């Protein structure tokens, strides 16, 4: 995935990240530390070996594996602190971070205890210029009843830092319409609504998320390029695509959507979305697991031929389409990096 150097004027801008999973930020060194805490011998090289995949299912297996070391609130505090440091190093002043509450429940953990540990670990970074809000995430293949439990935990935690509810996982499992009740429940709780769609699934998955569930932002959404009418809909309704090029490349999602077994990252439809008038925010998804950073994602976009003005617009979109109040967006967007 060769890239060219990111223009200094773009690199220096304060940025927001809206599609990033806390558990996917676990660096190999931190994973080894977590394993040691629980009596498991693991080297950084071992983790690097697990962080290599050629398809989406292999990635899901690696995600399950690394999250198996997250067993106590202190473990979540450790990775949250390390992630905050990673963001500050990239001129990120705001992030809406996805937290896999569905996985916590599968492992019989207390999401509130984990979340309180995360808040305590990251609060000191606010004085350093970083604001974090959180998205409680369910796992699609676990079904609607388990997803409803995630909404209930968001209500129970009752924190203004929980801004949205989303669903990730395998979008080819469980019909979208089965989650209607869950998304209505999230809306009643005052949560904004997101969903991963059109990553490995077709454009119909994106349309279903919009029309059946009322989502405001779509995670990935790269299949949209296969349906011109859907692209028009996204542009007209200002439904945001959270695009993660390195993730799409490394999971094989890009190859699948392009029907090209060996694509270049420059074949990504990102420029097509931008020039169609679709609101796009650039993100990393699982940065450590995909060997990327927000700066590198902007470098990828630059290598695809996006102009400086288009890159700058995506930077602005990260704040405009966040779930922050307008005044807060402005303050964080123009905070000196």
Q: How far apart are CA 43 and CA 261, in angstroms?
A: 32
31 sits in the region (left: phi over 0; alpha: psi -120 to 50; else beta) called: alpha
Q: Is 310 a catalytic residue?
A: no
Q: Is the dihedral of CA 132, 299, 28, 197 positive or negative?
A: positive
What's 238's DSSP letter?
A: T
Catalytic one among 199, 208, 242, 310? 199
Helix axes 73-88, 28-37, angle to 10 degrees: 160
- Strands (DSSP E) along 100-258, which ranges? 131-139, 162-168, 192-197, 217-220, 240-243
Q: What is the largest CA-CA distance in the chain?
A: 54
DSSP 100-129: -HHHHHHTT--HHHHHHHHHHHHGGGGGGT
Does an H or E element contain 230, and which? helix 228-237
Other beta carbons less than 10 A from residue 81's beta carbon: 16
Q: Which two tokens stand for residue 27?
A: 């660096």
What's 94's DSSP letter?
A: E
The residue written with tokens 């996985």 in the block is 103
Within 13 Å of residue 206, how many CA atoms lie on the same side as its CB? 27
Does an H or E element contain 96, and which? strand 92-99
Q: How far apart are CA 117 and CA 113, in angstroms?
A: 6
Q: How far apart are CA 214 and CA 227, in angstroms?
A: 19
Q: Which two tokens stand for residue 287?
A: 């940065």
Q: Is the dihedral of CA 105, 109, 112, 118 positive or negative?
A: negative
Tell me which residues are annotated as active site.
199
């Amino acid at each position: 995935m060769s890239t060219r150097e990111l223009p200094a004027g773009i690199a220096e801008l304060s940025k927001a990240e809206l599609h990033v999973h806390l558990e996917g930020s676990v660096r190999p060194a931190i994973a080894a530390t977590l394993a040691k805490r629980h009596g498991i011998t693991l080297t950084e090289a071992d983790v690097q070996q697990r962080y290599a995949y050629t398809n989406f299912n292999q990635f899901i297996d690696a995600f399950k594996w690394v999250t198996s070391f997250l067993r106590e609130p202190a473990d979540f505090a450790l990775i949250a602190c390390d992630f905050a440091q990673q963001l500050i190093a990239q001129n990120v002043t705001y992030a809406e971070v996805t937290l896999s509450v569905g996985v916590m429940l599968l492992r019989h953990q207390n999401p509130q205890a984990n979340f309180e540990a995360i808040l305590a670990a990251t609060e000191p970074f606010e004085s350093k210029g970083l604001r974090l809000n959180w998205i409680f995430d369910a796992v699609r293949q676990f079904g609607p009843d388990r997803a409803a439990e995630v909404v209930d935990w968001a209500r129970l935690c009752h924190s203004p830092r929980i801004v949205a509810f989303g669903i990730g996982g395998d979008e080819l499992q469980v019909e979208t319409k089965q989650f209607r009740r869950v998304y209505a429940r999230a809306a009643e709780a005052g949560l904004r609504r997101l969903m991963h769609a059109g990553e490995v699934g077709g454009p119909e998955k994106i349309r279903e998320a919009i029309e059946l569930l009322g989502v405001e932002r779509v995670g990935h959404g790269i299949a949209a390029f296969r349906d011109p009418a859907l692209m028009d809909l996204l542009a007209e309704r200002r439904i945001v695509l959270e695009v993660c090029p390195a993730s799409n490349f490394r999971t094989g999602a890009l190859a699948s959507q392009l029907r090209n077994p060996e694509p270049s990252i420059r074949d990504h439809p990102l420029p097509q979305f931008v020039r169609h008038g679709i609101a796009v925010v650039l993100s990393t998804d699982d940065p450590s697991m995909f060997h990327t950073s927000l700066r590198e994602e902007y470098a990828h976009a630059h290598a695809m031929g996006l102009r400086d003005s288009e890159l700058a617009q995506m930077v602005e979109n990260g704040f405009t389409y966040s779930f922050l109040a307008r005044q807060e967006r402005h303050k964080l967007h123009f905070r000196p990096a």
